[in-house]
Amino acid sequence: LERLLATPVRRGEIVTGYMVSYGVVAIVQTLLIVITTVWLLKVQIVGDLALVFLINILLALAALAMGIFISTFASSEFQMMQFVPIVVMPQVFFSGIVPLDALPNWIQVISKILPLTYAGNAMNDVIMKGQGVETIASDLGVLVLFIVFFVVLNVVGLKRYRKV
């Protein structure tokens, strides 16, 4: 990153490069996971498979943008690995695996600031209930907002390294 920042490349271009390169990898991984889940493991999906792909791809991109943002605060790979449990574990617990309605209100508030909550809601609506895009549009919109929000934070976060 230090060598890249020594070039005349703008911060937005750096973030876009990271998002595109790692985004392609994330999308391929997502496609493989969904295909394996549906055809190899025979998991039945009541709704549209294309929506399952879309939700998973948006979630992968949101996680990627969040991961890149968090990495701007790490001074080494070891420190980044220390951030992983702090970020990933709350996502898992607040994703809806544990019913959020039964939890205290302050925990429900925390769940609203995590992208996995919205992806979980949308996936549940599509896979279990067969709902269409009109039902999950708000969850998809929130996932897109998370992506945009963290991409913007990434550009701003690179100011720590360079003022261009």
pLDDT of residue 1: 64
Domain boundaries, the chain: 2-158
pLDDT tens digits, one per residue of 90-128: 777 777 677 778 778 888 888 888 899 899 999 999 999
At residue 162, the pLDDT reads 55
| pLDDT recorded at residue 164 | 47
Alpha helices in 37-132 (DSSP H): 49-71, 77-92, 105-111, 115-123
Q: What is the pLDDT of residues 36-83, one digit of tens each?
A: 999 999 999 999 999 999 999 999 999 999 988 888 777 777 888 888
Q: Which residue has the tokens 């996971």?
A: 33
